[in-house]
Structure 1
Amino acid sequence: MSVTGMPRVLFDAILHPHRSLGRGGFRLLMGAVILINLMVAGICLAAGAWPVVPFCGLDVLVLWLAFRVNYRDARLYERVRLTERDLTVQRVAWKAPERHWTFQPYWLRVRVDDRPSRRHQVTLSSHGQSVEVGAFLSPEERAEFARALNDALRAWRAPPCPPAPAE
């Protein structure tokens, strides 16, 4: 227990979905797409194919909306925190209620399912309760996360660890 009465944090990971295109790259991409569409629209107008022009703007709109949805979904994150008392998982997503799971670390099992027939998943389970974490991470990132969490749990369980709760 720390001096302030709050339990010490032994592991704290915040997992975010990976997004490969930042805001600057998005502006550059949209500028290039708009410029190309303006050139195509100009060529079509000069050739007398004026009905094509509205479609040049439509694809820009669809691309912009797709990126808007992508950036909105990037607000998702999961926080996995191990303290002297418990392990908590917090999941925050856009326009969805925040979810929390609490586990007693002594009994917690971290399972990485890496069978080729299924997508890799990290599942935390204890006493009939389980939650999948990091579903949006790459297989390598999931394996690294599971390894780090298992190391923290091993350190937590090493003597002198807190006593296991009586059942």
Structure 2
Amino acid sequence: MPYEWISPPQSTPQKMRLWPHNSLPARGMAAFVLTTFTLISIPVLPLLGSPILWGLLPFTLAAVWGMYWALQRNYKSRQISEELVLDETLARLTRINPKGDVQEWDCDRYWTKVTKYEDEGPVPNYVTLRGKGREVEIGAFLSEEERIALFEDLERVLRR
């Protein structure tokens, strides 16, 4: 699951780290790009030595480069992490976005409320934390089932 409690639930402070699911690691991406290049090159091989090859080669290389660029951009956009720290008196959520900017939210733990919007949010089962006059999302990059589990975990921990 792309979130975990870093510290045990009984300890203080309690820390949770959240991150997007990464289904394609760097080695898998390299293998995919190499396989794509190989499969795209097969129809071009009979054209070796002919002038038509030079007409098709830029499009073949552009297709491979486009695939690589799209995968790299997707990988960089998934460089999000969130950390929720719950101590005896304070709840603090820190989010590091893909570009490196940091967003922080904190509230008195007693007044922190977890809300799940089943249909009203930008994604199904949208989970937010509310307090101190603000409402912030948490785990919007998680899958629907993971957001449901996250809501139940947060509700259980904040009730204590």
TM-score, with normalisation over the residues of structure 2? 0.83
CA change 1:117–1:144 in 2 (3 A) is closer
Structure 1 gap ranges (5+): 1-6, 156-167
Do the aligned partners of 1:40 and 1:56 also contact (CA within 8 Å) in 2? Answer: no
Structure-to-structure mapping, 1:93-108, within 5 angstroms: 93-108=97-112
Instruction: Note the C-alpha offset of 1:137.
Output: 0.5
Structure 2 gap ranges (5+): 1-10
CA root-mean-square deviation = 2.1
CA change 1:82–1:117 in 2 (3 A) is closer
The equivalent of 1:4 in structure 2 is none
SS in 2 for 1:111: strand
TM-score, with normalisation over the residues of structure 1? 0.80
> How high is the sequence identity, in percent, across the aligned residues?
26
The equivalent of 1:92 in structure 2 is 96
Instruction: Note the C-alpha offset of 1:127.
Output: 3.4
The equivalent of 1:53 in structure 2 is 57
Cα distance in 1 for partners of 2:121, 2:106 equals 30
Do the aligned partners of 1:124 and 1:133 also contact (CA within 8 Å) in 2? Answer: yes
Do the aligned partners of 1:44 and 1:53 also contact (CA within 8 Å) in 2? Answer: no
Aligned residues: 148
**Greater Rg over alpha carbons, structure:** 1
Q: Deviations over 1:80-116 (max 9, x none)?
A: 1111121110000232421110011111110111128
Q: Deviations over 1:112-137 (max 9, x none)?
A: 11128852211111232110111110
Cα distance in 1 for partners of 2:120, 2:110 equals 30
In the alignment, which of 29, 32, 35 is matched to residue 32 of structure 1? Answer: 35
The one-letter amino acid of 1:132's match is E
The equivalent of 2:68 in structure 1 is 64
